[in-house]
Amino acid sequence: MDLPADVLEPGQAFILRLLASLGILPLGCVLAKHAKELVFSGLLTARFDVASEKAGIDDVLMRADIRQSPAELVAVLVYWLVLLAALVASVSTPGLTQVSEVLNRCLIYAPRIIAAVVVLILGLFLASFLTGIIRAAAANAGMAESDALSAGHCARTQEITLRRRATYG
């Protein structure tokens, strides 16, 4: 048994894994930045901001004192997801299993958050569409209260409630 080789080889292996881990993290940061820019430009190309403004999402964000556009919010969400995935890969490389497990649980939970946001956005789009239908039907029926009836508060509240129940059970 060669004692120095038995002691040095595991140490060298750990140092190599640690260096690989330290290389993964900056690469993940760069990848996250590029993914954010790509998603943001793709959403602008798809005119996501125009659609979200028509659906009233911008108004909801303004009331919540959020100054970013919906496209920026989605891009930032993608940035953090990619960064979290890189962090999980970086931490699991040297064998830090407990930290890796906690971060992995966060990463596994992320699709639920994304699904909830998508359902909320679709609900707001549908509520905006229903508001237009109610306004047109009330105006065609000669109702003087067509604007008040279609103000969207009732339709939006019901739609958001239905979407939340569908998402969370």
Q: CA 162 from chain center: how many Å?
A: 21
pLDDT at position 131, please? 76
- pLDDT < 70: residue spans in the chain: 1-11, 144-169
Structure tokens at 99: 């930290």
Range of the domain at 158: 26-168
Place of tokens 């403004």: 53
Q: Is residue 139 a part of any domain in this protein?
A: yes
Residue 50 in domain: yes
Backbone angles phi and psi of 119, in degrees to 5: -65, -40
Q: For residue 1, is it within any domain?
A: no
- Spatial distance between the Cα atoms of 79 and 58, rounded to a whole number of angstroms: 21
In a domain, 20, yes or no: no
Is there a domain that residue 34 lies in?
yes
Number of structural domains the chain divides into? 1
Distance between CA atoms of residues 120 and 57, nearest Å: 10
In a domain, 6, yes or no: no
C-alpha distances (whole Å) from 120 to each of 41, 55, 143, 147, 157 are 22, 11, 31, 24, 11
Token pair for 138: 């009330």
Q: Which pLDDT value is given to residue 89? A: 84
